[in-house]
Amino acid sequence: MATIKIKQVRSAINRPKRQKDTVKALGLKKMNHVVEKEATPQILGMVAKVQHLVEVVE
């Protein structure tokens, strides 16, 4: 399956707990941190929920 790189570009400070938990579940720890994940529907859904905090690096 294809993989995507997810980069955190905005802070999770002052965000609802649900969004903080989603960022943490994606494996992101701090600003400009990049993780590589498989492009499953679950991961893509998580990225969509916090699209204002992350960007997908191709």
DSSP letter at 30 equals S
> What band does 58 get if pLDDT is binned at 50, 70 and 90?
confident
- pLDDT > 80? residue 15: yes
* For residues 5-22, average pLDDT: 97
pLDDT tens figures, 24-36? 999 999 999 999 9
Within 8 A by CB and 6+ apart from 17, the residues are none
Which homologous superfamily is 3-57 in?
A: Ribosomal protein L30/L7 (3.30.1390.20)
Distance CA 41, CA 16 (A): 23
- pLDDT > 90? residue 1: no
pTM of the model: 0.91
Closest CA to 49 of 6, 2, 35, 31: 6
pLDDT at 39: 95
